[in-house]
Amino acid sequence: MAHAAHYTAPTALGVLSLLAKPFIALGNGLVAIGEANTRYQTLNKLMELSDAELAKRGLKRDELVHQVYSDSYYL
């Protein structure tokens, strides 16, 4: 016969969880802002292409980040 025990976390963890929620929301918001960036979306579309398709466009996979962000960052 098997016995099972259910453990309930102490309430202190509930308070810490409550304190962490604003920081989690802020982090999720920053990620959403970054992913909404058109350069990020362009980079993702290029990364989805095969190496042969990139070669047809005259691009190499290891140069994609530089190609997309070259006018705004020195990479």
Convert the pLDDT of each residue in 17-70 to its tens digit. Answer: 888 999 999 999 999 998 899 999 999 999 999 999 999 999 999 999 988 888
What's the rounded Cα separation, in Å, for the pair 49 and 42? 11
* Local structure of residue 1 (DSSP, 8 states): -
- Alpha-carbon distance values, 21 to 5, 14, 25 (Å): 29, 11, 6
Residue 72 has what pLDDT?
A: 79
- Is the pTM of the predicted complex or chain greater than 0.95? no
pLDDT given at position 29: 96
